[in-house]
Amino acid sequence: MARIDWNPSQHVNNVDRLVQIAAKHVLLNIGLDEKGVPVTTVEKLRQFRPIGVVLNFNVAQNKMTQRIFEIGSGKSFIATGPTIAVFTATRALIMGPTFMGILKHGTTHTPPESYNPKTFIFDLSDPVFDRPYLFVVMFYSPTVTQNVEEDVSSIQTLASSREIIGAIALEGCVLSAHNVSVNAGDVLVFENVNFEAEGVRDLNVSFRVALPPSNLATGGVTA
């Protein structure tokens, strides 16, 4: 058994060497095929594009369980069932594609001079939203040197990343609710979207070497 050196008057971990992952190190993307059409599963995923001006998103997973008791015993055991996942997000409303416009057309950004009103949509009853979608969430290492030029927009290059420490795919996401709330004193208007997801899958990411900034301990981070 390994010896544990623990002092209750100190931190459990050396906080001087901890590297925190903040919101600025996380990127939400929509999954697309080679033609830029939104896809449903990882098998069809060929590229992805980041979704901007997202204020928050939440991925929640719950496993169905049932505690079982038996006659003749004072003990119980727990049976497990399927895992249920949901995905919600809040995004600022901009002159460009709405969240629903992103889902329908796969376009995540348009400059004001090339604004296309067909991407500014809100009709949830459109049959196109009966289909599932896929989102990719990437977690970047806080220790990489800034402005590392690396193309990670495709599933092929994701597996050889030098700056992504992990990524998940939210498969089979069906848009179940969308709302926009406007108040006279608002500076910004927000969209809120809710999805039921088929599941959360870990993507293959090969995080090779990250060079830490000078204010961190030397030696690099490897995985």
Identify the pLDDT of residue 219: 31
Name the one residue in this structure whose structure tokens are 């293959």: 204
Residue 56 lies in a domain: yes
Residue 3 lies in a domain: no
Q: Would you state the structure tokens that stand for residue 196, as one six-digit string?
A: 């039921």
Q: Would you state the structure tokens that stand for residue 106, as one six-digit string?
A: 């796969």
Number of domains in the chain: 1
Identify the pLDDT of residue 149: 62
Q: What is the pLDDT along the chain (223 residues), one digit of tens a residue?
A: 667 777 888 888 777 777 788 899 999 999 999 999 999 999 999 999 999 999 999 999 999 999 999 999 999 999 999 999 999 999 999 999 999 999 999 999 888 788 899 999 999 999 999 999 999 999 988 877 655 566 667 777 777 777 888 999 999 999 999 999 999 999 999 999 999 999 999 998 877 654 444 433 333 333 3
Alpha-carbon gap, residue 118 to 157, rounded angstroms:
32
Q: What angle do CA 123, 127, 131 make, to 5 degrees?
A: 110
DSSP secondary structure, 18-34, as one string: -----GGGEEEEEEE-T
Residue 125 lies in a domain: yes
Residue 218 lies in a domain: yes
CB within 8 A of 173, min separation 6: which ones? 87, 132, 133, 134, 135, 195, 196, 197, 198
Q: Would you state the structure tokens that stand for residue 141, as one six-digit string?
A: 């290492």
Residue 1 lies in a domain: no
Is there a contact between 49 and 31 (Cβ–Cβ < 8 Å)? no
Identify the pLDDT of residue 223: 30
Identify the pLDDT of residue 81: 96
Residue 35 lies in a domain: yes
Cα Rg for the chain, rounded, in angstroms? 22
For 220, half-sphere exposure in the C-beta direction (CA atoms, 13 angstrom radius) is 9
Identify the pLDDT of residue 213: 44
Range of the domain at 38: 23-62+77-222
Residue 202 lies in a domain: yes
Q: Which of 61, 63, 52 is nearest to 24 (CA)?
A: 52
CATH number at residue 118: 2.30.110
Q: Which of 90, 121, 88, 111 is nearest to 188 (CA)?
A: 90
Residue 87 lies in a domain: yes
CB within 8 A of 169, min separation 6: which ones? 31, 42, 45, 134, 135, 136, 137, 200, 201, 202, 203
Alpha-carbon gap, residue 86 to 24, rounded angstroms:
22
Is there a contact between 87 and 54 (Cβ–Cβ < 8 Å)? no
